[in-house]
Amino acid sequence: MSADPRFAELVAALGDYFDGLHHSDADKLGQLFHPQAIYACATEGRLTHLTMTEYLPMVAKRPSPASRGEPRRDRIVSIEFAGPVTALARVECAIGAKRFTDLLSFIKLDGHWRLIAKVFHFDLDEAAA
């Protein structure tokens, strides 16, 4: 593990990210995502592009993986710093039959790491479908 304090801060932020997804906690995710963050995916052959005012209510409405008894399937693959206030995390997680690879761009503002872009791909896990 890195002695760089930024690394521990980002690991903690990613813990909040995974918790927010597993519990469909839009408030927790809303604290992590910058209000101007984007959410984007092209897995299905078309661009899905949402703002936080579109994305967070969707999270709040969906049944959480926790409420369905799904085990946590999330991990940090890598964290890379582009400078003192810019980072990229590659993570994996699953919700239902979808296995996600998320590329999460972070910026540090006012002493807090905030997610400014979530670009992701998903595969369907046939065994969980």
User: For 16-22, which contacts have Cβ atoms below 8 Å and span 24 or more sequence positions?
Assistant: 17/91, 17/104, 17/115, 18/72, 18/74, 18/91, 18/93, 20/59, 21/59, 21/65, 21/74, 21/93, 21/95, 22/64, 22/65, 22/66, 22/70, 22/72, 22/74
Quick one: tokens of 54? Answer: 């579109």
Output the average pLDDT for the chain. Answer: 94
The number of folded domains in the chain is 1
Domain residue limits at 68:
5-124
What per-residue confidence (pLDDT) applies to 127? 62
Mean pLDDT for each consecutive 10-residue tract of the chain (129 residues)?
A: 84 97 97 98 97 97 95 96 97 95 97 97 78
CATH number at residue 61: 3.10.450.50
pTM of the model: 0.93
